[in-house]
Amino acid sequence: MSWGKLLQPDLILGDSILNLTSEILQQHNIRGLVLDVDETLVPISMSETSPELQQWIQSLSPSIQVWLVSNNISQMRISRIAKSLNLPYILGARKPSRRKLRQAVDSMGLPFEQVAMVGDRLFTDVLAGNRLGMFTILVEPMVNPAKIQKRYLLRDIEVWFSQILGVSLIPWQQIQQNITDLDRS
C-alpha cells in the first residue's frame, strides 16, 4: 500500500471529537472506538477531562465499546483521564506501531473494520489504524479554552506532507454539502 493510502483518514471530522455523533458511527457500521488521548480528548496543557467530554462518552455507551490508547508514558496522567471517563486504557503505545492497538481491538472482540481509530495526528493515529484495517477518523485538536490557541507545528507539518503524498483532507461536512449541491443542480 502507498504512503498516501496509509495516511488517508476514512473520515475527516474538521471539528473536535465532541462532534463525532452516534449517527456518524452508525452510518459507517462502527461498534468500537479506540481513542487517542493527548490533544484528541484533553489538551496537553490540561489534566482534567471536561464535563462536555464526559457527557459525550456517556452518550456513546452502551452500544459502542471504547478504549483509550495513548503514546504518552505518564501513568499518572493517562490513568487519571481514563478513570474520570471510566474507560480501559493502554499507555506507551508507540503508535504507529500496531501492537497495542491490536490488543485493544482484540479485547473488544470486534473485527478491525468495525472499530474506528480516532485521533488528531496522521503519522501516529491514522497510520496505525490504517495499518490494521481499522476505520480511521482525523479530528481537530482539543483546545484549552484558557489559552490563546497555539499552533500545532508538528501536526501542521504532517498535514502538509501528507497532502504532498496525495492525502485528501476535505472535512466530511464539506463533502456532504457538495453532494447536496450536486443533487440540487
Size of the site for Mg ion (CB under 5 A): 5
Q: Is 94 helix (H, G, I), strand (E, B) or coil?
A: coil
Rule CB under 5 A: is residue 158 a binding residue for Mg ion?
no
Q: How far is the CB of 176 from Mg ion (least distance, A)?
A: 26
Interface residue with Mg ion among 7, 30, 108, 120 (CB under 5 A) is: 120
Taking the complex as a whole, the smallest distance from the CB of residue 167 to Mg ion amounts, in Å, to 18
Residue closer to Mg ion, measured from CB, 40 or 65: 40
Number of H helices, E strands in the chain: 8, 6
Task: State which of positions 6-65 bind Mg ion (CB under 5 A).
Answer: 36, 38-40
- Nearest distance in Å: CB 72, Mg ion: 9
CA distance 19 to 12: 11
C-alpha closest to that of 100 among 17, 34, 16: 34
Give me the amino acid identity at 1: M
Find the Cα–Cα–Cα–Cα dihedral 96, 102, 108, 110, rounded to 10°. 100
Q: Which is nearer to Mg ion, 30 or 142 (CB)?
A: 142
Residue whose cell numbers read 490533544:
39
Query: Whole-number minimum distance, CB 173 to Mg ion, in Å?
Result: 22
State the residues that interact with Mg ion by CB under 5 A.
36, 38-40, 120
